[in-house]
């Protein structure tokens, strides 16, 4: 449908939501001074105006005039504003439905308790006023997502956490026992807005002193140029046995328009070159050996392979594993965890561990005790942490960066440090 139709309709819906929510805000501040009431009015409708102007600019102004970062913050602002208001609307609807039911009951009682002679045209049920308590509760409820999402930007976006995981492998030779691997995934350098904070996460990786580092895809959002500002930082990520990387779905430039297929391919070539400039050994359907005292451990990397139709699959695992039969242990870098069920745990039983990312844990979660809930679990069977089937393991990293919403709530960015052990 044409934007000239969609955007006016969306604007009208937003204005209806705004008017509905304003009634609750107005009641909530009615006992305060006139100056506070006036300030509330200016702030509320000022945010509405900014959101609607932003909506129109985003959709009808040349993207190059606004710039990527401004466009991102416009959409984040609109999303936060109306997500909060939807929470208010839900509470108000509860109140209004209750008022409607009470009014209908009152009306029925008046009709059933009156004789025909006494019922007149002026006989009506008394209006039932809104519950001031529920309206104030609705406003408070609406501030919760706004506060949480703001905190998720200011603090959660770069609140890097190290997760330590022991991987017990039956086939592990003693030469590799105690070997440590740091994994990061989903950097999405095009989304970063705080280079100092990003540097802090890199220092955490280096301080962990891993023997190897794995990066499991999505270095950028769409274009290779996004990482240029961060090559110097991520180029500092080193390890004695090497840094191994692979590509994710966003690295191919599938989500933007290109002038030609050649331009898209050039972008991918530039991105692969960026990996090499940083000193990362990018594995595009390839493998490498780590050898100690004659024992071999295979590092296998595939281009993006997905078990979901909405994502392109580029990789060739058969090609990637070729020549690895002599390795006692095989470790696979594959960006999308749905690749696990698509072929890894059915056709390649000799792959000991698959390392993935991709889901970000939807950058939102709620943890109570040892249980974490996230919307990601309704989209992905394996969405975060360690999974096991028979003697094979899959680890899904929650991601180093963020995409879309420039923050994280209850799902902090992750640096995983693995220690290999003999099972």
Cα(291)–Cα(314) distance, integer angstroms: 29
The confidence score (pLDDT) of residue 129 equals 57
Which band of pLDDT confidence, cut at 50, 70 and 90, is reported for residue 127?
Answer: low
Query: What six digits make up the tokens of 290?
Result: 């780590």
> 118 pLDDT exceeds 70?
no
SS3 151: helix
The confidence score (pLDDT) of residue 95 equals 76
The confidence score (pLDDT) of residue 236 equals 97
Q: For the chain, what is the domain count?
A: 2
> 1 pLDDT exceeds 80?
no
The confidence score (pLDDT) of residue 408 equals 96
Considering the domain architecture, whether residues 143 and 174 belong to the same structural domain is answered as: no
| DSSP H/E element including 8 | helix 3-28
Considering the domain architecture, whether residues 123 and 94 belong to the same structural domain is answered as: yes
Q: What is the pLDDT of residues 154-197, one digit of tens each?
A: 999 999 999 999 999 999 999 999 999 999 999 999 999 999 99
Q: What is the pLDDT of residues 294-343, one digit of tens each?
A: 999 999 999 999 999 999 999 999 999 999 999 999 999 999 999 999 99
Beta partners for residue 286, in sequence order: 301
Considering the domain architecture, whether residues 68 and 21 belong to the same structural domain is answered as: yes
The model's pTM is: 0.86
The confidence score (pLDDT) of residue 100 equals 83
Considering the domain architecture, whether residues 124 and 266 belong to the same structural domain is answered as: no
Query: What six digits make up the tokens of 119?
Result: 């019922």
Beta-sheet pairing, 385-389 with 392-396: antiparallel
Among 134, 154, 174, residue at a domain's last position: 154
Considering the domain architecture, whether residues 129 and 201 belong to the same structural domain is answered as: no
Considering the domain architecture, whether residues 141 and 244 belong to the same structural domain is answered as: no
> 123 pLDDT exceeds 60?
no
Q: Is residue 185 a contact partner of residue 400, using CB atoms and an 8 Å limit?
A: yes
Cα(128)–Cα(138) distance, integer angstroms: 18
What is the DSSP track for 240-277? TT-EEEE--GGGGTTTS--SSHHHHHHHHHHHHHHHHH
Among 104, 135, 154, residue at a domain's last position: 154
Considering the domain architecture, whether residues 118 and 251 belong to the same structural domain is answered as: no
> 121 pLDDT exceeds 80?
no
> 99 pLDDT exceeds 80?
no
Considering the domain architecture, whether residues 104 and 245 belong to the same structural domain is answered as: no
Considering the domain architecture, whether residues 246 and 134 belong to the same structural domain is answered as: no
Instruction: Read off the pLDDT of each residue in 230-234 and give the average, rounded to a whole number.
Output: 97
Please work out, in degrees rounded to the nearest 5, the angle formed at the alpha carbon of residue 415 by the alpha carbons of 76 and 150: 25
What domain range is 233 assigned to?
162-422
**Alpha-carbon 412 to chain mean position:** 10
The sign of the CA dihedral 263, 2, 61, 249 is negative
Q: Is residue 304 a contact partner of residue 288, using CB atoms and an 8 Å limit?
A: no
> What's 416's domain CATH number?
3.60.21.10
Give long-range contacts, CB 8 A cutoff, 24+ apart: 309-314: 311/249, 311/336, 312/249, 312/252, 312/254, 314/247, 314/252
Place of tokens 């099972």: 423
Query: In terms of Cα–Cα distance, which of 80, 96, 78, 76 is closest to 138?
Result: 96
Looking at 107-116, 246-255, 258-267, 339-348, which range is the least confident one?
A: 107-116
Considering the domain architecture, whether residues 350 and 303 belong to the same structural domain is answered as: yes
Considering the domain architecture, whether residues 244 and 374 belong to the same structural domain is answered as: yes
């Amino acid at each position: 449908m044409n934007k000239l139709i969609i955007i006016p309709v969306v604007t009208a819906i937003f204005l209806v939501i705004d008017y509905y929510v304003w009634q609750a805000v107005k009641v909530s501040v009615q006992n305060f001074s006139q100056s506070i009431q006036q300030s509330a009015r200016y702030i509320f409708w000022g945010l509405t105006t900014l959101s609607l102007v932003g909506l129109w600019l985003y959709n009808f102004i040349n993207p190059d005039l606004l710039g990527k970062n401004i466009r991102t913050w416009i959409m984040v602002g609109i999303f936060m504003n109306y997500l909060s208001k939807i929470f208010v609307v839900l509470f108000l609807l509860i109140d209004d439905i209750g008022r409607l039911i009470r009014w209908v009951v009152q009306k029925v009682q008046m009709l059933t308790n009156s004789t025909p002679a006494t019922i007149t045209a002026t006989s009506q049920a008394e209006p039932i006023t809104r519950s001031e308590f529920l309206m104030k509760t609705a406003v408070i409820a609406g501030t919760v997502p706004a506060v949480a999402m703001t905190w998720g930007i200011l603090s959660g976006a770069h609140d890097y956490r190290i997760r330590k995981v022991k991987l017990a492998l039956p086939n592990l030779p003693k030469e590799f026992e105690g070997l440590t691997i740091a994994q990061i995934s989903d950097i999405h350098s095009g989304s970063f807005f705080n280079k100092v904070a990003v540097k802090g996460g890199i220092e955490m990786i280096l301080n962990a002193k891993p023997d190897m580092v794995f990066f499991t895809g999505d270095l950028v959002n769409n274009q290779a140029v996004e990482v240029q500002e961060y090559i110097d930082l991520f180029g500092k990520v080193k390890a004695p046995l090497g840094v191994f990387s692979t590509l994710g779905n966003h690295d191919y430039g599938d989500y933007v328009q290109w002038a030609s297929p050649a331009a898209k391919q050039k972008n991918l070539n530039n991105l692969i070159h960026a990996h090499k400039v940083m000193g990362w050994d990018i594995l595009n359907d390839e493998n490498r050996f780590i050898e100690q005292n004659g024992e071999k451990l295979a590092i296998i990397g595939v281009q993006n392979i997905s078990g979901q139709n909405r994502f392109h699959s580029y990789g060739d695992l058969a090609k990637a594993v070729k020549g690895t039969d002599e390795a006692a242990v095989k470790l696979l870098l594959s960006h999308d965890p749905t690749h696990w069920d698509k072929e890894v745990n059915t056709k390649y039983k000799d792959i000991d561990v698959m390392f993935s990312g991709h889901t970000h844990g939807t950058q939102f979660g709620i943890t109570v005790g040892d249980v974490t809930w996230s919307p990601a679990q309704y989209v992905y069977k394996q969405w975060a942490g360690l999974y096991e089937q028979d003697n094979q393991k899959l680890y899904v990293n929650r991601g180093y960066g963020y995409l879309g919403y420039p923050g994280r709530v209850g799902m902090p960015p992750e640096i995983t440090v693995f220690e290999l052990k003999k099972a």
